[in-house]
Amino acid sequence: MTTIPGMGLVRGMGLTLTRFFQPKATIKWPEEQADVAPKFRGRLQLLYDEYGTLKCETCFQCAQACPIECIDMGGVDTRGRFHVHWGPPETYGERREESAVRRSGRPVADTAFTHFEGIDLLALDVILDAHDHDPREMLAILEETQAAYGYLPVAALKHISRTTGAWYAQIYGTASYYRHLRFEPPAAAGVPEAGQAQIAAEAAFTTRLDAALGIGGQVR
Amino acid sequence: MDRLLRKRLETRFDGKLLGPVRQRHDETEIHVGTADLVEIMNALHDEADLKFEILADLAGVDTGDQMQVTYHLWSEMTPDWLRVIADGLPRDNPRIPSLTGLWPGAEWMERETYDMFGIIFEGNRDLRRIYMPPDYASFPLRKDFYLADDAARSPGGGVRHMEQTHVPAQASPNAVRRTVKTR
Amino acid sequence: MTTVSRSWGNMTTTGKVVVPLLLLVLVLGPIATVAIGSWIGPWIVGLASANLPIVRFLVAVTGVLLFSIPTAFIIIYMELKVIAFMNLRVGPDRVGPAGAAHSVVAGLKVLSKEDFSPNAADRTVFTWAPVLVFLTSVMTFLILPFGPDLVGMKLNIGVLYLFSIGGMTVVGLLLAGWSSFNKYSLLGGLRAAAQVVSYEIPLTLSVVGLILLAGTMNVYTLGLQQSGWFTNWYVFRQPLGALIFFIASIAEANRTPFDLTEADSEIVAGFATEYSGMRFGFLFFAEYVNVFLVSALITTFFFGAWNAPVDINAILGFFNIAPITISFELGTLGIALLIAIAVLPLILTLALAAPFYFGKTQRPAWQALVIGFILFNLVGIGILGLIAYVNVPWIAGITWFFLKAFAFVFVFVWMRGTFPRVRIDQLMGFAWKWLLPAALLNLFVTAAAIIVVKSL
Amino acid sequence: MTASNHHQPHLSSDDPRIMLDGEIGQFESVPPYPPRTEREAEFYSLRDGEMFLNMGPQHPSTHGVLRVVLKINGERVVDLDPVLGYLHRGVEKLCENSDYHHIISQVDPLEYVSSLFTEWAPVMAFEKLLDVTVPRRAEYIRVLTGELLRVSSHALYQGWMALDLGGLAPILYSFIERDEIVEMLAAITGQRMLFNYFRIGGVNGDLNHEFMSRLGDWMSRALKEHETNIGLLNENEIFVRRMRGIGRVDRDMALKMAVTGPNIRAAGVPFDVRRAHPYSVYPELDFNIPVRGSNGGGDSLDRYLLRLDEVRESLKIIDQCLHNMPDGPIMARLPRLLRPRPGRAWAAVEAPRGLYGTYAISDGTDQPFRMKIHDPSFVNMQLVGQLMKNNLIADTMAVMASLDPVMGGIDK
């Protein structure tokens, strides 16, 4: 309290008036995205296991158990056939059987996930060597991987995880956070996936050649 | 570990402690009977070389065959926490004198313990349920209260009922018998 | 017939509405014109000229009603935005440019919500209480002098009318609080009654000094008396009165720091707790109309009503320049006018767009054109406004009136963004222990001063 | 007989819970069952001119879902009865049914404003049970993040305080301050609110560049912004007049009511677990325990100002942590599955609201046999009943806000 009565009120009003003209703290989502730390794990994602299949078994137990029904499952099922959605038991009975089959160890054909097939990891090794397998340079590694392959194949991510020691989930989280990184090959006109892999392999070869010769790519 | 405190407690409360004074890390533990509880607590609170003025916690424990009430106390005379365990409350009619005379702030903690274990604190003026609704009949933190999905732990291996009502005779001390129709 | 039916079938729903209407207008238009011109028009004119005061009253009331809603919208928007800026937020920014249509959309939302009344509420009172509240605050607009000759009624007991009508608001609030059958509402209504009645007394007493000084209770005359330089404003002759009036009017309008009637952290929303839909809308609008009203009253009583703070004519007279009037008969231009209307916009737009296209910013052509067009409009409106301001006295008046009134609205909003609210006993104590003696002191000093000055 | 009777057979005017049209006399019959205790019977009987006012569980200023039944006489509160349990989740039972690592995420949402402290106490108790020594770097990181969170919690307190008194601006300034801190903590823990960061024997992640750069940026202006923001309220006559002399707690009452934290320090008792019973690396750090209201007890204003003093002390601690941060591991070596030998352990930390304790009993399995969580808000909340008698309704808010309860912790 100040000695002059009412002075505190006037000072308060002065403060709010200066605030009136100051830059605002609001982040105008969705036009602007918040500046989120790389370690932020507040984003829910379904992950793939080490065999390249969805870790989620679509057993709906989480949706069933959720007391306030905030978990809702939806999307295309792993075969790309129909929409799965949380509903009465008859709609997920079939899914449960399929999960059981997968758990039993027998292979389940996943035609929708052919891009989980093995890729040529030569180019990736070059990139990782260049960065000394340092997980702190993850973003650069991922960007260069995308530059080499056109996208981020799951096999590449797993290779990065194995060699750098970073957790797969963390790499996945980092990669999925940045918009310019993608997990699907770009819908390039006319180039089938096999062809793209070929292109990627060629590019990887030339990159490696350049590295071996020490010309760093500026000649071409 | 404050050896001095141990000696002090042993000499002061000789014959009233159930079992030895135990010490581990920064905690000193004494077991007392319910009959001596108020006297011992008063001594702990008032006497100049003890002066345990701050009641840090009051917790009920269901050991499976008996009930206990645990008090954690702090005093500026010792670097240790003092844990007073009131031992040997029978499970079917657990009764213990209330400490609200000493610490009026223990009222809600005792209410909580009553709500969760059904331990009746004699002398607490307002011993009602504090978390659970008034028409609730069981005591959730007792060991015979199984969670619905805790199938592996239950004896039969199957799912038990959610609420195993274990109402001790005269669950609440001054109660008018409730006849609430639940809708 | 088949052609007609087929084309009718091909039409869209909108077309099916518009086309018959067009036909109807084509047929009925001439008939109506003739009818109005020959019979109905003269009849209305005759009726109106026979009952001129009533017509004037009706027109004024309609105008005031139509005027109060947009004012409330503007103030609501202003409050959202100003408080947001003071809180380092952006505030509404989705509907309309910079969220300007936000309050309008909120008003529409209020209209479309369920009109709910509690089971045990007194239906009749519950329904009509908001109307009473809204009506009393709107009715006070009748005597506000927005500009020279721009006043609903030049009542010779204007100030008396003002306080008598303004005092009726509390009846509405009390009824709303009582009829809601809610304890929070009841508390809010009773608080409103206690607060408004208490603050009514210093509010009125603070103006009595002014009335003694002015010698009139006609609000319009008060405005006239303050013309010329800003030193003529009554605030310089009645500073204490102005301060008391300002503080008491905050309480009258139930604004922070005296917004106890709807203290959301204590009694939820006070008398408005049970209201929803448009009934709540009435209460809500009434609050903001009240804010504008007290700002306008402060302006009228103490800050020179519609008068500009600077007497331009006096300055010009000092330098021996004739008063500026832009007398300009557009008709004298003849055919040049037509050409100017056709060509000037284009040329001006291009001229204003050019710096953005060729200048440093190097914007694309379409952006430059859009900017040029907007600038042209702004310039045009500015020029027209300037002409209107100089030529038409009431436009100048209304401009200054609104500038001043909204400055006070800003102060109200600013205070709301800054202060916590007082407690009920502090509120009452302040009214009775400080404001009332101060108002009485002001009155006695004024009276004594008048006697002294007259006796000299 | 009629159709409506058929549809609602239970609806009759005997049932005191149901009020039919026009039956205004039924209005006062709360609660709808006979009184269970002497005190309840006394409270739920009205004298002339009194009425009940249900404040909550949905009310703008009860800090969550607290219900307070006020017995009022006009604007004056005669008596009040806080009704808890609307947010009760049975966390203690859940903890008894989950293993030791799992518990850390179970206790997180208890006191959601300062959830690192809800992890700290259990983790310390389990470390005692397991006889684990936490690496010094981990301890320093714990203290650093904890004090950051204390600053954020106290900042938020200031805003709530103002909001409960009707001031709109401070809450948003507080949230800006808090947001900077939680973003900072998100950089190191990965979450903004329920951090799940402390582990038994250490912490989950080391300090990283993102965190340090944000922290450095914030530290350079934290104190100045803090002083600016509090100037809005501290010098405000309206605010000071509303807080002064309301809800006075003296030393004796504070001790008897088992109050802890800033509330007891504002009553003149210098009890702070960080000094009274030092844990972690607090003995190595240099900071003061601010105490206010030493003569005649402290009122709401003292409690408010004391928290602002604490923010300054916390900033001092953060500074020291950054300077003294040792190198080394951040986790002790521990087996995957924890089976502490049977025993009892009690650990208490000084949370922003007071002593936050955990009492854990192990029976040798991978789940605790009993886990008691002592929440400071729970005890502090009791004071409301004592302080509010014969004050005004508006003071209920001021006193309740000045005690700073968090319903998540109270209801467990």
The residue type found at A179 is: R
Distance from D114 to chain C by nearest Cα, in Å?
Answer: 24
Q: How far apart are CA D194 and CA C340, in angstroms?
A: 69
Question: In 10 A of CB B83, how many CB atoms?
Answer: 23
Q: Please report, for the domain that includes residue D165, its CATH number.
A: 1.10.645.10
Residues of D in contact with A177 (CB under 8 A): none
- How many B-D residue pairs are in contact by the CB < 8 A criterion? 133
Supply the mean pLDDT for chain D. Answer: 83
* Chain B contact present for D31, CB below 8 A: yes
* Nearest Cβ partner for A16 among C90, C93, C417: C417
Residue D255 near residue D263, CB atoms below 8 Å: no
Residue A149 near residue A156, CB atoms below 8 Å: yes
Instruction: Give the pair of three-digit tokens for residue B164.
Output: 């195993």
pLDDT digits (tens, 9 = 90+) for C88-139: 888 888 887 888 888 888 888 888 888 877 877 788 888 888 888 888 888 8
Q: How far apart are CA D319 and CA D312, in angstroms?
A: 11
* Chain A contact present for D192, CB below 8 A: yes
* Chain D contact present for A5, CB below 8 A: yes
Specify the DSSP class assigned to residue D72.
E
Residues of C in contact with D53 (CB under 8 A): 183-184, 187
Helix, strand or coil, per DSSP, at residue D357: strand
DSSP string, chain B: --HHHHHHHHHHTTTTBSSPPEEETTEEEEEEETTTHHHHHHHHHH-TTT---EEEEEEEEE-SSSEEEEEEEE-TT-SSEEEEEEEEE-SSS-EEE--TTT-TTHHHHHHHHHHHH--EEET-TT---SSS-TT--S-TTSTT---TT-TTTSTTSSPPPS----PPSSSSTTPPPP-PPP-
- Output the pLDDT for position A92: 42
Residues of A in contact with C85 (CB under 8 A): 19-21, 24
Q: Is the pTM of this model over 0.80?
A: no
- Output the pLDDT for position A54: 62
Least confident among B109-118, B174-183, C150-159, D320-329:
B174-183
Tell whether D40 and D18 lie within a shared domain: yes
pLDDT digits (tens, 9 = 90+) for D162-195: 888 888 888 888 888 888 899 888 888 888 888 8
Residues of D in contact with A19 (CB under 8 A): 169, 173
- Check CB contact under 8 Å for D394 and C423: yes
Domain that holds residue D8: 3-83
Helix, strand or coil, per DSSP, at residue D198: strand
Residue B130 near residue B107, CB atoms below 8 Å: no
Q: How far apart are CA C279 and CA C127, in angstroms?
A: 7
User: What architecture is domain B3-122?
Assistant: 2-Layer Sandwich (3.30)
Residues of A in contact with D173 (CB under 8 A): 19
Tell whether A135 and A182 lie within a shared domain: yes
* Nearest Cβ partner for D236 among A9, A19, A42: A9
Of D80, D168, D372, D82, the residue nearest B58 (C-alpha): D372
Beta strand B95-97 pairing with B81-89? unpaired
Q: How far apart are CA A46 and CA A44, in angstroms?
A: 7
Please report, rounded to a whole number, the percentage of residues in chain C having pLDDT higher than 70. Answer: 97
Tell whether D157 and D269 lie within a shared domain: yes
Of D174, D124, D132, D135, the residue nearest D151 (C-alpha): D174
Which residue among D30, D58, D83 closes a domain?
D83
* Nearest Cβ partner for D166 among C88, C191, C420: C420
Total structural domains within chain D: 2
Cα–Cα distances (Å) from B54 to B177, D321, D385, in that order, read: 36, 30, 20
Please report, rounded to a whole number, the percentage of residues in chain C having pLDDT higher than 90. Answer: 5
Work out the average pLDDT over B67-73.
Answer: 91
- Output the pLDDT for position C421: 86
Helix (H) or strand (E) holding D79: strand D76-83
- Output the pLDDT for position D358: 93
List CB contacts of B159: < 8 A, sequence separation 6 or more. Answer: B148, B149, B151
Instruction: Give the pair of three-digit tokens for residue C331.
Output: 């008709």
Of D308, D309, D300, D301, the residue nearest D380 (C-alpha): D300
pLDDT digits (tens, 9 = 90+) for D70-108: 888 888 888 888 888 888 888 888 888 777 888 888 888
The residue type found at A168 is: Y
The full set of domain ranges for chain C reads: 54-82+102-316+394-455
Work out the average pLDDT over C241-254.
Answer: 88
Q: Which chains touch B (3 or more CB pairs under 8 A)?
A: D
Tell whether D228 and D296 lie within a shared domain: yes
Question: In 10 A of CB A38, how many CB atoms?
Answer: 17
- Contact flag for C and A (3+ C-beta pairs < 8 Å): yes
Helix spans in C180-311 (H): 183-214, 219-225, 239-252, 264-267, 277-302
Total structural domains within chain A: 2
pLDDT digits (tens, 9 = 90+) for C352-378: 877 777 777 777 777 788 888 888 888
Instruction: Give the pair of three-digit tokens for residue C220.
Output: 């319009």
Least confident among C330-339, C383-392, D258-267:
C330-339
Treating both helix axes as pointing N-terminal to C-terminal, what angle do D136-164 and D209-234 enclose, rounded to 10 degrees? 30
Residues of A in contact with D233 (CB under 8 A): 12
Residue C397 near residue C146, CB atoms below 8 Å: yes
Q: How far apart are CA C345 and CA C373, in angstroms?
A: 8
Residue D357 near residue B57, CB atoms below 8 Å: yes
Whether residue A67 is contained in a domain is answered as yes
Q: Torsions phi, psi of D355, nearest 5? A: -70, 115
How far, in whole angstroms, is CA D201 from its chain's centroid?
25
Q: How far apart are CA D208 and CA D216, in angstroms?
A: 12
Radius of gyration in angstroms for the set of CA atoms belonging to chain D, rounded to a whole number: 24
Higher pLDDT, A216 or C336: C336
Distance from A5 to chain C by nearest Cα, in Å?
Answer: 13
Domain that holds residue A192: 122-213
Question: In 10 A of CB A56, how many CB atoms?
Answer: 16
User: Which among A7, A15, A21, A26 is the top mutation candidate for probing chain C, defined by the most C β-carbons within 10 Å of its own β-carbon?
Assistant: A26
Q: Is the ipTM of this complex over 0.95?
A: no
Of D306, D297, D292, D289, the residue nearest D255 (C-alpha): D297
Helix (H) or strand (E) holding D305: helix D300-324
Helix, strand or coil, per DSSP, at residue D346: strand
pLDDT digits (tens, 9 = 90+) for D194-247: 888 888 888 888 888 888 888 988 988 888 888 888 777 777 888 888 888 888
Helix (H) or strand (E) holding D70: strand D67-73
Helix (H) or strand (E) holding A87: none
Tell whether A68 and A151 lie within a shared domain: no
Whether residue A149 is contained in a domain is answered as yes
Contacts by C133-136, CB closer than 8 A, 24 or more apart: C133/C169, C133/C172, C133/C173, C133/C176, C133/C282, C133/C283, C133/C286, C134/C172, C134/C282, C134/C283, C134/C285, C134/C286, C134/C289, C136/C165, C136/C166, C136/C168, C136/C169, C136/C171, C136/C172
Tell whether A129 and A94 lie within a shared domain: no
What is the side-by-side strand order in the sheet with D51-55?
A: D51-55, D67-73, D76-83
* Chain D contact present for A8, CB below 8 A: yes
Higher pLDDT, D333 or B177: D333
Each residue's pLDDT expressed in tens, for chain A with a length of 220 residues: 556 777 888 888 888 888 888 888 888 877 887 777 777 776 666 666 666 666 665 555 666 555 544 565 555 544 444 444 444 333 344 444 555 555 555 554 443 444 455 677 888 888 888 888 888 888 899 999 888 888 888 778 878 877 787 767 677 777 877 878 887 777 655 555 666 677 777 778 777 777 777 765 444 4
DSSP bridge partners of D72: D51, D77
Q: How far apart are CA C272 and CA C312, in angstroms?
A: 48
Helix, strand or coil, per DSSP, at residue C144: coil
Tell whether D250 and D163 lie within a shared domain: yes
Instruction: Give the pair of three-digit tokens for residue D92.
Output: 């203690």
User: Which among C85, C266, C273 is the top mutation candidate for probing chain D, defined by the most D β-carbons within 10 Å of its own β-carbon?
Assistant: C266
Tell whether D115 and D58 lie within a shared domain: no
- Check CB contact under 8 Å for C120 and D162: no
Cα–Cα distances (Å) from D157 to A94, D163, D166, D170, D311, in that order, read: 52, 10, 14, 10, 11
Q: How far apart are CA A70 and CA C135, in angstroms?
A: 47
Q: How far apart are CA D187 and CA D198, in angstroms?
A: 15
- The dihedral built from the CA positions of residue B128, B133, B137 and B140, taken in this order, carries a sign that is negative
- Output the pLDDT for position B151: 40
- Check CB contact under 8 Å for C87 and D168: yes
For residue A4, the chain D residue with the least C-alpha distance is: D237
Beta strand B27-33 pairing with B81-89? parallel
Specify the DSSP class assigned to residue A219.
-
- The dihedral built from the CA positions of residue D168, D171, D177 and D183, taken in this order, carries a sign that is negative
pLDDT digits (tens, 9 = 90+) for D22-41: 444 444 446 667 777 888 88
Tell whether D267 and D384 lie within a shared domain: yes
Q: Please report, for the domain that includes residue A154, its CATH number.
A: 1.10.10.1590
The residue type found at C206 is: S
Q: Which residues of C touch D (CB under 8 A)?
A: 83, 86-89, 119-120, 181, 183-184, 187, 191, 256-257, 259-260, 263-268, 416-426
For residue C80, the chain D residue with the least C-alpha distance is: D168
Q: Which chains touch C (3 or more CB pairs under 8 A)?
A: A, D
Tell whether D70 and D175 lie within a shared domain: no
- Check CB contact under 8 Å for B135 and D33: yes
Distance from A41 to chain C by nearest Cα, in Å?
Answer: 27
For residue A31, the chain C residue with the least C-alpha distance is: C94
Residue B21's Cβ-count burial label (10 Å; 0-12, 13-18, 19+) is: middle
Characterize D317-351 residue by residue with b for buried, 16 or more Cβ atoms within 10 angstroms of its Cβ, and e for exposed.
Answer: bbebbeeeeeeeebbbebeeebebeebbbbbbbbb
Tell whether D164 and D218 lie within a shared domain: yes
Distance from A90 to chain D by nearest Cα, in Å?
Answer: 32
Number of helices and strands in chain A (H, E): 8, 2
Residues of C in contact with D75 (CB under 8 A): 187, 191, 424-425
List CB contacts of D136: < 8 A, sequence separation 6 or more. Answer: D281, D326, D328
DSSP string, C356-386: HHHSTT---HHHHHHHHHHHHHHHHHHHHHH
Q: How far apart are CA C265 and CA A14, in angstroms?
A: 25
Q: How far apart are CA C391 and CA B135, in angstroms?
A: 80
DSSP bridge partners of C226: none
* Nearest Cβ partner for B140 among D31, D93, D372: D93
